[in-house]
């Protein structure tokens, strides 16, 4: 097979393709490609030739001057077809694998979210239980003791879980706030009793995580928009 290295160079320059990109397409080092383009080669691998033709967006037969139906040309064309068929099969397999990976990632995320929701629900439940005990406290000493317990024990575990979720990179802050809304009875009560002033929410949420009034306000807008679409 004749290797038209000068024509390849001309087309490369015409199409503004760099030598590095050509080398990558041909599966060569940059220095090897520069040498090929300058001096030509009698033994260019078929894989490299196919890569060059594809990069230059030029039909393989046209670029390499393959004409006629000689046994050698027929065999070469058959080889090319086989290679292209295998490439197509690999591309389809990769696409299926990508789809499977995305599906598994989605399922894993949903499972992770469900588990995180259960843990938050349990921790918020303990926090609210202490809140109920505070209402029934007999004196200031008991109130102070319960407040300290609520902060150092109940609040600590909630903050720790939220921090883990933030650090995981699996969920956006919106999704984490959504989990809190779904599992914190105080937040839920504030929202559904019409007390959802962003400042009130921010003051409460800052017990467990750092958040600004602006971020809460933005979240509430998105949350209500999502609820409206779902409804």
In this prediction, residue 135 carries a pLDDT of: 87
Q: Which two tokens stand for residue 215?
A: 């971020």
In this prediction, residue 152 carries a pLDDT of: 86
| Separation of alpha carbons 111 and 109, rounded Å | 5
Reported as a single tens digit per residue, the pLDDT across 63-117 is: 877 665 555 555 666 677 777 778 888 888 888 887 877 777 677 888 888 888 8
Q: Which two tokens stand for residue 6?
A: 């000068």
Q: Which two tokens stand for residue 102?
A: 């995305």
Q: Which two tokens stand for residue 16?
A: 């503004």
Q: What's the maximum distance between 2 C-alpha atoms anywhere in the chain?
A: 103
Q: Which two tokens stand for residue 96?
A: 């299926």
Q: At what angle do helices 173-183 and 71-135 cross, to 10 degrees?
A: 40
pLDDT band, residue 212 (cuts 50/70/90): very high
Homologous superfamily, domain 5-64: lambda repressor-like DNA-binding domains (1.10.260.40)
| Separation of alpha carbons 224 and 226, rounded Å | 5
| Separation of alpha carbons 64 and 141, rounded Å | 92
Stated pTM of the model? 0.51
Name, in order, each residue with C-beta under 8 angstroms of 19's C-beta and a sequence gap of 6 or more. Answer: 12, 30, 33, 34, 37
Reported as a single tens digit per residue, the pLDDT across 140-173 is: 999 999 989 888 888 899 999 999 988 988 888 8
- The residue written with tokens 């599992």 in the block is 183
Lowest mean pLDDT among 24-28, 42-46, 194-198: 194-198
| Separation of alpha carbons 4 and 184, rounded Å | 71
| Separation of alpha carbons 172 and 158, rounded Å | 17
Q: Which two tokens stand for residue 198?
A: 């962003």
Quick one: average pLDDT of 8-31? 91
């Amino acid at each position: 097979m004749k290797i038209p290295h000068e024509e390849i160079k001309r087309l490369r320059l015409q199409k503004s393709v760099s030598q590095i990109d050509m080398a990558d397409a041909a599966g060569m080092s940059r220095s090897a490609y520069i040498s090929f383009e300058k001096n030509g080669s009698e033994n260019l691998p078929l894989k490299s030739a196919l890569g060059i033709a594809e990069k230059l967006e030029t039909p393989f037969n046209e670029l390499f001057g393959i004409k006629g139906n000689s046994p050698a040309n027929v065999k070469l064309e058959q080889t090319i077809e086989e290679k292209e068929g295998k490439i197509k099969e690999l591309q389809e397999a990769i696409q299926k694998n990508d789809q499977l990976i995305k599906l598994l990632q989605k399922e894993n995320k949903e499972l992770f979210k469900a588990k995180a929701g259960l843990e938050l629900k349990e921790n918020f439940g303990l926090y609210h239980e202490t809140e109920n005990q505070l209402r029934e406290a007999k004196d200031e000493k008991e109130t102070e003791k319960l407040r300290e317990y609520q902060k150092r024990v109940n609040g600590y575990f909630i903050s720790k879980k939220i921090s883990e979720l933030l650090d995981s990179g699996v969920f956006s802050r919106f999704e984490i706030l959504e989990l809190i809304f779904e599992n914190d009875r105080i937040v839920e009560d504030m929202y559904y009793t019409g007390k959802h002033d962003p400042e009130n929410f921010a003051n409460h949420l800052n017990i467990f995580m750092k958040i600004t009034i602006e971020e809460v306000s933005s979240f509430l807008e998105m949350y209500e928009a999502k609820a409206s679409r779902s409804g």
